[in-house]
């Protein structure tokens, strides 16, 4: 079962697993995405992970499988991204973000764990480098990923003795639709700020948008993430965490040894070239 399979990492993972001979249930939210994905070994499932009825229907589909196949793996990939300074992001939006990026995954794991315990299967939670370091204007998104990392650690220790493997995959810059939408969503955040907030954070947001756009050409293709995920599922003894992207593993190593102040300075220096140039007085 792969959630968020309409595009990007989810779609690539569904196709990779199908190519390796698995029958894949691919969660999508639109009929057009289902039609684009449907292929041999690939069965699109209409699914919103924040809706209990859809998850219950999925459990019934797995329980009543006509081929009596067992559920071997759950890939929690569905999610949404946002860039916003903490002060400017409405609390209602925080709750929506956590519903999608955390509580929806928890709901999926609770619903499918009985089947995965029976099959001694795997859970792969797609986190992010944002689950390790929270950059300026990434606070809401990073908060959901930090939380997903904690849930994954606890779950691994709970169900490992029952034979279920729990793996976290931490992509960095990946050339997906989410990365490409930073400009649109970021500009919306700027437009919705008050004048005072725009004065405080407008330049920061413009820099974050420019930095994200600059990372697109050097980003890892979603197929690279898909291969990492599929390898983790098929490994007899997978790692507890995998990174995706050339620079992601380096960043993870750096944050283990750098002080908070050193990391603050490094991140600020990396962002500085993207700050809008001030007009001379």
Q: Which structure tokens are listed for 272?
A: 């500085």
Let me know if residue 2 belongs to a domain. no
The pLDDT mean for the chain works out to 94
Give per-residue pLDDT as tens, 1-60.
999 999 999 999 999 999 999 999 999 999 999 999 999 999 999 999 999 999 999 999
The SS3 assignment for 80 reads coil
Let me know if residue 218 belongs to a domain. yes
pLDDT of residue 281 exceeding 60? no
CA distance 206 to 92: 24
Strand partners, 170: 243
Let me know if residue 167 belongs to a domain. yes
Mean pLDDT of 62-80: 96
Radius of gyration of the chain (CA): 20
Q: Which structure tokens are listed for 120?
A: 């001694």
Strand partners, 149: none
* Catalytic residue (one of 141, 201, 242, 274): 141
Let me know if residue 83 belongs to a domain. yes
Please, what is the Cα angle at 94 between 93 and 98, to 5 degrees? 115
Which pLDDT value is given to residue 97?
Answer: 98
Report strand pairing: 73-76 vs 42-46: unpaired
CA distance 139 to 144: 9
What is the domain-level CATH number for residue 251? Answer: 3.40.50.720
| Residue 141 annotated as catalytic | yes
Strand partners, 169: 126, 242
Residue 198 structural domain:
8-273
Q: What is the pTM of this model?
A: 0.94
Q: How many CB atoms lie within 10 A of CB 255?
A: 15
Let me know if residue 228 belongs to a domain. yes
Give per-residue pLDDT as tens, 183-223.
888 999 999 999 999 999 999 999 999 999 888 877 889 99
Count of the separate structural domains present in the chain:
1
Let me know if residue 108 belongs to a domain. yes
Residue 79 has phi, psi (to 5 degrees) of 180, 170
């Amino acid at each position: 079962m792969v959630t968020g399979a309409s595009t990007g990492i989810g779609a690539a993972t569904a196709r990779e697993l199908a190519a390796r001979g698995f029958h894949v249930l691919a969660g999508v939210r639109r009929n057009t995405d289902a039609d684009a994905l449907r292929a041999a070994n690939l069965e699109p499932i209409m699914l919103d992970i924040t809706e209990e009825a859809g998850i219950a229907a999925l459990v019934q589909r797995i329980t009543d499988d006509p081929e009596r196949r067992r559920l071997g793996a759950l890939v929690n990939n569905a999610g949404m991204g946002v860039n916003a300074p903490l002060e400017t992001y409405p609390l209602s939006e925080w709750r929506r973000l956590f519903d999608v990026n955390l509580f929806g995954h928890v709901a999926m794991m609770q619903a499918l764990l009985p089947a995965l315990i029976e099959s001694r299967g795997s859970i792969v939670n797609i986190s992010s480098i944002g689950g390790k370091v929270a950059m300026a204007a990434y606070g809401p998104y990073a908060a959901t990923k930090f939380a997903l990392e904690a849930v994954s650690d606890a779950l691994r220790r709970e169900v490992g003795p029952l034979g279920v493997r729990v793996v976290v995959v931490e992509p960095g810059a990946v050339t997906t639709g989410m990365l490409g939408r930073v400009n649109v969503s970021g500009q919306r955040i700027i437009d919705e700020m008050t004048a005072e907030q725009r004065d405080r954070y407008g330049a920061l947001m413009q820099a974050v948008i420019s930095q994200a756009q600059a990372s697109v050409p050097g980003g890892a293709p979603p197929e690279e993430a898909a291969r990492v995920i599929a390898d983790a599922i098929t490994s007899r003894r997978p790692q507890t965490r995998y990174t995706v992207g050339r620079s992601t593993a380096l960043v993870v190593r750096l944050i283990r040894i750098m002080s908070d102040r050193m990391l603050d300075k490094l991140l600020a220096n990396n962002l500085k070239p993207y700050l809008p140039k001030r007009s001379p007085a």
